[in-house]
Amino acid sequence: MKKYSIGFIGGGNMAASIIGGLIADGFPADAIYVAEPNEEVRSQLAARFGLHTEIDNNLVAAKVDVLLLAVKPQVLKDVAQQLAASIQDKQPLVVSIAAGVRSSDLDNWLGGNAAIVRSMPNTPALVQSGATGLFANAQVSNAQREQAESILRAVGITVWLDDEQQIDAVTALSGSGPAYIFNVIEVMENAGIQLGLDAATARHLAVQTAFGASKLALESADDPATLRKKVTSPGGTTERALGVLREGGLDTLFKDALQAASDRAAELADQLGDN
């Protein structure tokens, strides 16, 4: 991996996961800097990864080629405005993983003309199995796009978006998506218990079934619809169960749920931004 320096503003779970993925991919720890106000967190990151830590955000911003903003969306405006002078001076690539903050608002807070990649990772990034949507503003060069992609690819797959509004759809599908899958697992587990299985067995089978189906979908050349048909024997148990789900309106429920999540993502962006 080509060496350049990366700074993280915020050292929470997502930042630690990305750092762990980068180092596992061969990125040198001595080229990673983290600004984090919590002394215990700084000490843990330094001991775990052997990277550099600071308490001052601007000290990190002044040293790096890529600055990843890993703070809560509600505080991003204040953090960005405090970083503006350093960003204008150093001109790093800025990668935001803060949900709901548009690149135009972030650019305004940083003083303008900043190279910004807005990203939407999801929580499976914590186990290097994430899915991240990426959008680059006009100031981002091809080389910087490659840098942003390599950083987020360290914790899963990445997809580039041509239209920033598509981030709302990504938020609805993959950003919030793990909760939908957890809910399905929970419902299957409870149904298994009602059918007579003990709780531990029902949970183990439900979780492994979700994992196995996802792994098969990832590794198979067939699309999910084809895979579903292959395991649905005419007149069998699976066909009977799927018929109940369709009669209950499963397709419509998911369509409406994702639309609601996408709409809420747009609302939050309005609330967090300047407009």
User: For residue range 112-166, what is the model confidence (pLDDT) as tens digits?
Assistant: 999 999 999 999 999 999 999 999 999 999 999 999 999 999 999 999 999 999 9
Q: Is residue 83 a contact partner of residue 57, using CB atoms and an 8 Å limit?
A: yes
The kind and range of the H/E element at 60 are helix 57-61
The answer to whether the 6-164 and 177-269 domains have the same CATH topology is: no
Residue 120: both structure tokens together: 């939407």
Burial of 118 (0-12, 13-18, 19+ CB in 10 A): buried
Q: What are phi and psi of 163, to 5 degrees?
A: -125, 125
Indicate the domain borders of the chain: 6-164, 177-269
pLDDT at 74 over 60: yes
Specify whether domain 177-269 bears CATH 1.10.3730.10. Answer: yes
pLDDT of residue 275: 58
Task: Tell me which architecture the domain covering 6-164 has in CATH.
Answer: 3-Layer(aba) Sandwich (3.40)
Does the pTM of the predicted model rise above 0.85?
yes
**Helix (H) and strand (E) counts in the chain:** 12, 8
How buried is residue 49: exposed, middle or buried, by Cβ count under 10 Å (0-12/13-18/19+)? middle
Q: What is the pLDDT of residues 245-257, one digit of tens each?
A: 999 999 999 999 9
At 216-262, the pLDDT tens digits run 999 999 999 999 999 999 999 999 999 999 999 999 999 999 999 99
